[in-house]
Every structure is written in C-alpha cells, then in structure tokens.
Amino acid sequence: MSFELSGRLQALPPYLFVEIDKAKRKARQEGRDIIDLGIGDPDQPTPRFIIDSLYQAAQNPSNHRYALDQGMPALRTAIAGWYDRRFAVKLDPDTEVLPLIGSKEGIAHFPLAYINPGDYSLVPDPCYPPYKGGTIFAGGKPYLMPLLAENQFLPDLKKIPATVLKKARLLYVNYPNNPTGAVCDGKFYRQILAFARKHKLIVISDLAYSEMSYDGYQPMSMLEVDGARDCVIEFHSHSKTYNMTGWRVGWACGNKALVAALGKVKSNIDSGIFSAIQVAAVSALESDQEHVRSMSRLYQERRDALVDGLNGLGWKVQKPRATFYIWAGIPGGRKSIDFAADVLARADIVITPGVGFGAAGEGYVRFALTVDKARMKEAVTRLRAIL
C-alpha cells in the first residue's frame, strides 16, 4: 500500500543536501580522509563536571519517573539566575521560564500556539530550518526576509508588503546568526520591537549562540531592551554553550502569556526532560563558566586559522564576531551545491551549500569551526590546491 503524505509534510521545503550526503557517505566508505566542516555540532566533549552530575542524578530513583511538564523548579531558578548574571535580566522562574527538550522542539512547536491557517511568519532567509518547518506544520506561510551582506545580514523591514503584514503573527530574529555569523546591537532590537508593536507581532528571538563570541564582544539578549517583555519570547539552549547537543535541553523565556501558551502545546505532546539531565543542566548554568570562555578561545584560534588562510588564498571572507560559522561568498559566482560537491570531490572537505538555508543563501557556503587548528590549516592547504 502507499499513502499520500499530508499537505503539511508535502509543503516543507525540499531537502537539498541529498546529493552531498550521498557523496559524503561514499567518501567515508572509501576510507578517504574527510575534513568535516559541515555540521554545526561542537566536536569537544561535554565538560566532565556536567557528566558527573548526570551520573549521580541518574542513580536516584526519584529521577526515573515522569518529569514535570514545566521543568524542575531548580532548573527554572538556575535559568533565571543565569539570565540575571549574564544579561541583568530578571525573570520569574515560575511564569517566565520554560525548559525544553532542546530549543529546536520549542521553536518548532511555538507556531502551533499562535498561527492559524493562512497566517504569515516573517522568517529570515537564509535561516535555521525549523522557523519555516514549524510555521508550515501549523498551517501558516513563511514570508522570507532576505539577509543581505549590504545590510549586514539584518532584515530590511521596509520591504515587507502591507498585505503580508496584515496577516503576520510571528517575527523571527536570530543573532548571533546561523548561518551568516552576523551579530546585531541594541538599536536593531529596538527597531524590531517598535515594528512588532506597530504590527502586533510576536517576536521569537533565537539566542542559541550568545556564548560563542570573540575579540571581547559580548552578545546581548533582546530581553535587555525596555518593553521587550511585552511581545518577545527568547529561546536558548545548553547545546552549543556547553557542548551538549545530544543531551536535548534548552529553554524558552520572556513574555508570560507566550511562555504559558508554549507550555500548553507541549503538555499535549511531550512529558518533560529526563530529570537527571535537568539536574546536570543546573550544574552547567551554576558553574563558573570557565568552560565557556575556554571554548570561545578555542573557536577563535580556529576561526583565525581558517579565515587568515582563506584570505591568504585571495578568497576574501570576514571574521565573524560570534558563532562557530564562517559564511563565505563563493569565488567566481558558482552555485553553492556545485561548489560544495566539487570541494568534497577534490579536497575531501565537507562544507554546507548556502542555498540549503534558503534561496538568499545561494552564492555562499558555510564552514563550521568544528575541527582543530591543525586540521583547519590542512583544509586551507587542500583548498589552495583546488582553487
């Protein structure tokens, strides 16, 4: 028998990495020495103290049962404490914080709370794919806002048609940005907030990369802006900050009603985060954050090795001030899928074609800083041979 897929599944954007994934698997099977700069997943292990905390908490039978939907009070309090220390933003742990099974699920589920069929979400292009997927699953339509180099990869709000704005409910912002590595300042957040007020929009701020920054730069939270709590929900995660992508723990915070609505969606779908993971997540947030600083030093070295190397080849790319991504315009204007396939075939290096993040990503490739400095230099040497 064969069954027709639902309209919502069919409406998802096509998966553009099929060919590259195939080529990557084949190269591995052939035993080629692949340098993988494709996936945004930290290569370093989770810090020992966090693993120890999980190990201890896992021995306690009271942690083996269904967790509370809204997360342990200790985790919500630890998240609020971390926000206060890091951003001087005071959150009520009972009403303004919601732990998530990784922030991706929260980001993908949130539109179910506010999107009706035919409504729009204003989504950056290129972007992290769940912004589009979550909107489509809820019956909505993503309206894509191109992020262009000439605008420092910030959306141009003036270009959004009035007809779209009338039916728009959600606006996504993600700075520091995946995949462009761009950052924003308080002025940009204040503009976004004024725009959201004017058009009655909910702002979804994805802050996954706030702790990966360089050259002394410290990203801010949108919740630092006066009045942001009127319409902003911010998503954050242990994944990138503490090398915990596989653990699945993150959170949403900000406007009470928005947080409660997401909680209501989730209580109908999941049954919370394994309690031992929540205990370990508390230990990460309450630690001295030395791990975070040392990871940023490590990524900064790799960034410099790669960007200085590429610039030395005459391939002009910018050093990002945050994230572990290098967003590089492709020399000679080649298509990103062809270029990435060529780099894999001839240099055994995996990079991500920009078009996979949206049409406005065409003409770019993304390098992730997920191998050590010596391998980065090796990657540059291999690229010199083929460029």
Ligand X SMILES: *Cc1c(COP(=O)(O)O)cnc(C)c1O
Binding flags for ligand X, 155-194, as an x/- string (CB under 6 A):
-------------------x---x----------------
Q: How far is the CB of 338 from ligand X (least distance, A)?
A: 25
The three-class DSSP label of residue 206 is strand
Q: How far is the CB of 173 from ligand X (least distance, A)?
A: 11
**Using CB under 6 A, which residues numbered 86 to 105 contact ligand X?**
102-104
Residue 179: is the preceding peptide bond cis (ω within 30°)? yes
Binding flags for ligand X, 321-360, as an x/- string (CB under 6 A):
----------------------------------------
The residue among 145 and 208 lying less far from ligand X, judged by its C-beta, is: 208
Instruction: Rule CB under 6 A: say whether 128 interacts with ligand X.
Output: yes
The residue among 270 and 308 lying less far from ligand X, judged by its C-beta, is: 270
What count of other Cβ atoms lies within 10 Å of the Cβ of residue 128?
22
Q: How far is CA 36 from CA 53, 132, 161, 213, 296, in A?
A: 31, 26, 40, 22, 20
The residue among 104 and 302 lying less far from ligand X, judged by its C-beta, is: 104
Total of chain residues touching ligand X, rule CB under 6 A: 14
Which residue is listed with tokens 């692949």?
A: 34
Which residue is listed with tokens 């899928």?
A: 337
Closest CA to 205 of 187, 184, 226: 184
At a CB cut-off of 8 Å and minimum separation 6, what does 116 contact?
A: 139, 140
Q: How far is the CB of 347 from ligand X (least distance, A)?
A: 25
Do the Cβ atoms of 183 and 207 come closer than 8 Å? no
Instruction: Rule CB under 6 A: say whether 283 interacts with ligand X.
Output: no
**42, 181, 250, 320: which one contacts ligand X (CB under 6 A)?**
250
Amino acid found at 58: A
Instruction: Rule CB under 6 A: say whether 240 interacts with ligand X.
Output: yes
Do the Cβ atoms of 134 and 111 come closer than 8 Å? yes
Expressed in angstroms, the distance from the first to the final Cα of the chain is 49
Alpha carbon distance 71, 101 (integer Å): 10
Instruction: Rule CB under 6 A: say whether 300 interacts with ligand X.
Output: no
Alpha carbon distance 363, 125 (integer Å): 13
Alpha carbon distance 75, 336 (integer Å): 42
Interface region with ligand X, contact rule CB under 6 A, candidates 7-15, 54-62, 235-243, 375-383: 235-243
The residue among 165 and 253 lying less far from ligand X, judged by its C-beta, is: 253
Q: How far is the CB of 311 from ligand X (least distance, A)?
A: 25
**Using CB under 6 A, which residues numbered 252 to 271 contact ligand X?**
none
Contacts with ligand X by CB under 6 A lie at 40, 102-104, 128, 174, 178, 206, 208, 237, 239-240, 245, 250
